[in-house]
């Protein structure tokens, strides 16, 4: 197993996943790196696909542990969105508002709903999502459908509540 190739392939989506869950790019970088350190400590064994799942599971557990240590699980996604590399005037403002609306809606979901939605957004298959969140693969479709329904409901309420210009 070429660890450098694995890092190049898995680090960017792992970082995005951690960043979306924490809302903090610096913490996301630390968490993604910690997952890789733990992989090196245990020794990379098995196919790259299995290691990818393992890394996301470790990162998810690290995020949960950090939330428990702070004593505030409801703030996993609190904070500001990651900064854009090149800010553009009006489009950037609208994009940031949408990001805040989505983040606020995600904050109101339970942790498992957030995790399955974000893992699916990262392109994980149902089987992979099941392995990361430790549920039966046959339940992932139902979990995703319910999480999407809850997200859509909360998101619409957020938009209606914030529909007035400031």
pLDDT digits (tens, 9 = 90+) for 97-110: 888 888 888 889 99
Query: Would you mind telling me the total number of residues written for the chain in this entry?
Result: 166
- The pair of structure tokens assigned to 97 is 């508002």
Query: For position 72, what pLDDT does the model report?
Result: 47
User: Among positive and negative, which fits the CA dihedral 138, 102, 63, 19?
Assistant: positive
- The pair of structure tokens assigned to 157 is 């309420």
Angle between helix 140-161 and 89-107 (nearest 10): 120
Residue 32 reports pLDDT greater than 80? yes
Share of the chain above pLDDT 70, in %: 83
User: Among positive and negative, which fits the CA dihedral 21, 25, 26, 31?
Assistant: positive
Query: For position 163, what pLDDT does the model report?
Result: 46
Q: Where do the structural domains in the chain lie, given as residue ranges?
A: 3-161
Residue 134: HSE in the Cβ half-sphere, 13 Å Cα cutoff: 5
Of the options 3.40.50.620, 1.20.140.160, 1.10.150.130, 3.90.1170.50, the CATH number for the domain spanning 3-161: 1.20.140.160
Exposed, middle or buried: residue 69 (CB in 10 Å: 0-12, 13-18, 19+)? exposed
pLDDT digits (tens, 9 = 90+) for 111-123: 899 999 999 888 8
Instruction: Categorize the per-residue pLDDT at 151 as very low, low, confident or very high, splitting at 50, 70 and 90.
Output: very high
Find the Cα–Cα–Cα–Cα dihedral 69, 71, 76, 82, rounded to 10°: -70
């Amino acid at each position: 197993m070429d660890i450098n190739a694995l890092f190049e392939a898995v680090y960017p989506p792992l970082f995005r996943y951690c960043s979306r869950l924490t809302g903090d790019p610096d913490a996301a970088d630390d968490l993604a790196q910690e997952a890789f350190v733990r992989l090196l400590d245990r020794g990379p064994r098995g196919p790259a696909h299995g290691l990818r799942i393992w890394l996301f599971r470790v990162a998810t557990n690290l995020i949960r542990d950090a939330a428990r240590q702070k004593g505030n699980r409801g703030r996993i996604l609190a904070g500001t969105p990651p900064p854009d590399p090149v800010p553009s005037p009006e489009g950037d403002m609208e994009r940031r508002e949408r990001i805040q609306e989505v983040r606020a809606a995600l904050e109101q979901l339970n942790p498992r709903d957030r995790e399955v939605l974000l893992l699916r957004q990262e392109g994980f298959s149902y089987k992979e999502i099941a392995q990361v969140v430790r549920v039966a693969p046959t339940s992932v479709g139902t979990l995703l459908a319910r999480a999407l329904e809850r997200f859509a409901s909360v998101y619409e309420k957020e938009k209606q509540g914030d529909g007035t210009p400031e």
